[in-house]
C-alpha cells in the first residue's frame, strides 16, 4: 500500500545550523508530495509541495525536491531560526483516486538560540 516514512525526532539544532529531515514514500503511481508544518497549539499548514518528478518546492527558506528514482522528498533549510521550531509532516496525495492524503508520523524540530 501507499505510505510515507520520515525520520523520527526530536531533532535538536542550534540556530543557523543546516537542516535535513528525511522523507521517503511508497506509492503505486505518481502522487503529489507535500510538507506541512504544525506550530504549537495550531493546526497543520502547507509549507511546500511538488506535483511531479524533479519539481522543487520552496517556501520560507525551506526546499524539497521530488526524487522519483529514490522515492524521496527530503526537507532542507540552510540556516534555521528559533521560530522554525515546530512539527513537520511529509505527505502524499492522489487526487484522482480516493482523494485521501497519507501523512508521515511527523518530526519534531527544536532550535536552540
Partner 1 sequence: NAGVTQTPKFQVLKTGQSMTLQCAQDMNHNSMYWYRQDPGMGLRLIYYSASEGTTDKGEVPNGYNVSRLNKREFSLRLESAAPSQTSVYFCASTAGLAGGEQFFGPGTRLTVL
Which residues lie near partner 1 (CB under 8 A)? 32, 34, 36, 42-46, 49, 51, 89, 91, 93, 95-96, 98-101, 103-106
Rank residues 74 and 106 by Cβ distance to partner 1 and give the closer one.
Answer: 106
Rank residues 40 and 113 by Cβ distance to partner 1 and give the closer one.
Answer: 40
| CB crowding 15-47: b at 16 or more within 10 Å, else e | eeeebebbbbbebeeebbbbbbbbeeeeebeeb
| CA pair distance 88, 51, nearest whole angstrom | 19
Contact 84, 77 (CB under 8 A): yes
| Alpha-helix residue ranges (DSSP H) falling in 1-113 | none
Rank residues 16 and 99 by Cβ distance to partner 1 and give the closer one.
Answer: 99
Q: How far is the CB of 88 from partner 1 (least distance, A)?
A: 11
Rank residues 17 and 53 by Cβ distance to partner 1 and give the closer one.
Answer: 53
Contact 5, 72 (CB under 8 A): no
Q: How far is the CB of 8 from partner 1 (least distance, A)?
A: 9
Q: How far is the CB of 17 from partner 1 (least distance, A)?
A: 25
Amino acid at each position: 500500500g501507499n505510505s510515507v516514512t520520515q525520520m523520527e525526532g526530536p531533532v535538536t539544532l542550534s540556530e543557523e545550523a543546516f537542516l535535513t529531515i528525511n522523507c521517503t514514500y511508497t506509492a503505486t503511481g505518481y502522487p503529489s508530495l507535500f510538507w506541512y508544518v504544525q506550530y504549537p497549539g495550531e493546526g497543520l499548514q502547507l509549507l511546500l509541495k511538488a506535483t511531479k518528478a524533479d519539481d522543487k518546492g520552496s517556501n520560507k527558506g525551506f526546499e524539497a525536491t521530488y526524487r522519483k528514482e529514490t522515492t524521496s522528498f527530503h526537507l532542507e533549510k540552510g540556516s534555521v531560526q528559533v521560530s522554525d521550531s515546530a512539527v513537520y509532516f511529509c505527505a502524499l496525495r492522489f487526487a484522482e483516486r480516493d482523494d485521501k492524503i497519507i501523512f508521515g508520523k511527523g518530526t519534531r524540530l527544536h532550535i536552540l538560540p
